[in-house]
Amino acid sequence: MSTAIDDDKVFKALANARRRAMLDLLKEGPCTTGALCEQFADMDRCTVMQHLKALEEADLVIVRRQGRERWNYLNALPIKQIYDRWISQYAGHSLSILDRLKADLEGE
């Protein structure tokens, strides 16, 4: 189970739009750091690496080296744990409220 510190790292990593865009690219499949730099040509390589470091520290990206290449893989497990811990509980509550509202409105 994730800890509060781990959750904070995940939330912090996901708070940045560029990092979310990187995760969206990695959702399609693993990618080298060089290929990610090409996708974000408006940022220099150092900035891309800083974003990747934050994602790696949050355990959202797993890095594997193959020769001179650094491959980045999406690890969706921390996002699922956040969903299970926070979002699903609140979504279920909201759905039950909407269901009651629908029933009340149809009963009128």
- The string of pLDDT tens digits covering residues 66-75 is 999 999 999 9
pLDDT digits (tens, 9 = 90+) for 20-48: 999 999 999 999 999 999 999 999 999 99
108 belongs to a structural domain: no
Rounded distance between C-alpha atoms, residue 73 and residue 35, angstroms: 13
Counting the structural domains of the chain, the total is 1
Q: Range of 52's domain? A: 4-76
Helix count and strand count (H, E) for the chain = 6, 3
- Is the pLDDT confidence value at 91 over 80? no
Asked whether residue 95 is assigned to any structural domain, the reply reads no
Measured distance CA(50)–CA(107) in Å, rounded:
56
Q: Find the distance separating the first CA and the last CA of the chain, reported in whole Å.
A: 46
pTM exceeds 0.75 for this model? yes
- pLDDT tens digits for range 44-71: 999 999 999 999 999 999 999 999 999 9
Q: Is residue 87 part of a domain?
A: no
Token pair for 79: 């996002």
**25 part of a folded domain:** yes
> What is the CATH number for 59?
1.10.10.10
Tokens describing residue 51: 């974003």
- Has residue 47 been placed in a domain? yes
Neighbours of 28 (CB within 10 A): 8
